[in-house]
Amino acid sequence: MPNPSWIWDERLGGTWPGARREPCARDREGNAHCWGNFGVMIEAVRAAKRVIVLAEKIVDAEVIASDPNRTAVPGFLVNAVVECRYGAHPSPVQGCYKRDDAFFRQYHEQTRGKANSEAWLQRWVHSVADRTAYMNQLGGCRVEDLSVKLHAYAAQTDFGY
């Protein structure tokens, strides 16, 4: 069963699964700041033949270099970087949006049996023209509800010698 967070990206010429628990920021070389639950992300990146990363935001390399301990995905392992807001939906991205529990429930309810699974895939994967159409299908109110309302920033760290 395909991952429900697939996206269409014309620059890459196809549909690509959105990785779970993605970091919020990457630089253009693919170096990624990671926080939250990694799951098996690091192992998957190292085992993959090609790595296409999703970022909530592409930032300057200086931002990534400013906190080297958070750079869990080094750019030399990355083939392409795609900036894609809500790219890990329905999974959460810490500091950006919460897990879409309703989407997961609906997925489990609507994919019981082959015919139901095919209908779900048609609605959420095959008939979605692009990322904008996917987000429109989710609905603005739902997307707003998932957004982080109260940010909790970490303390500034001194990496001096």
161 in any annotated domain: no
- pTM recorded for the entire structure: 0.74
158 in any annotated domain: no
Least confident of 94-103, 130-139, 146-155: 146-155
79 in any annotated domain: yes
pLDDT at residue 134, as a whole number:
93
Q: How far apart are CA 84 and CA 101, in angstroms?
A: 20
pLDDT of 17 above 50: no
The token pair at 56 is 């909530």
Domain count, the chain: 1
Question: What are the pLDDT digits (tens) for 18-32?
Answer: 433 344 566 888 888
50 in any annotated domain: yes
155 in any annotated domain: no
85 in any annotated domain: yes
Q: How far apart are CA 131 and CA 77, in angstroms?
A: 25
Q: How far apart are CA 128 and CA 161, in angstroms?
A: 52
Contact 78, 29 (CB under 8 A): yes
Contact 147, 97 (CB under 8 A): yes
Question: What are the pLDDT digits (tens) for 92-129?
Answer: 888 889 999 999 999 999 999 999 999 999 999 999 99
Question: What are the pLDDT digits (tens) for 71-83?
Answer: 888 889 888 888 8
pLDDT at residue 43, as a whole number:
87
H helices of 26-86, in order, are 41-47, 61-65
Contact 90, 5 (CB under 8 A): yes
Q: Provide the CATH number for the domain around residue 98.
A: 3.40.1080.10
Range of the domain at 67: 7-146
pLDDT at residue 24, as a whole number:
59
Question: What are the pLDDT digits (tens) for 29-73?
Answer: 888 877 777 778 888 888 888 888 888 888 888 888 888 888 888
